[in-house]
Amino acid sequence: MVEDCVFCEISNWKIHSKIIYSNDNFLSIPDANPIVDGHSLVISKRHFDNILDTPSSLGLELLDCIKKTSLILIEKKKAEGINVVNNNFKVAGQLVNHVHFHIIPRKKGDGIRFLVRE
CA dist., res. 10 & res. 29, Å (int): 9
Task: Give CB contacts under 8 A, 24+ apart, made by 25-34.
Answer: 25/58, 25/61, 25/62, 26/58, 26/61, 26/62, 26/64, 26/65, 27/65, 28/65, 28/68, 28/69, 28/103, 31/102
Catalytic residue among 16, 39, 98, 100: 100
> Does residue 100 have an active-site annotation?
yes
Strand order in the sheet with 100-106: 21-22, 26-30, 40-44, 100-106, 81-85
Active site residues: 100
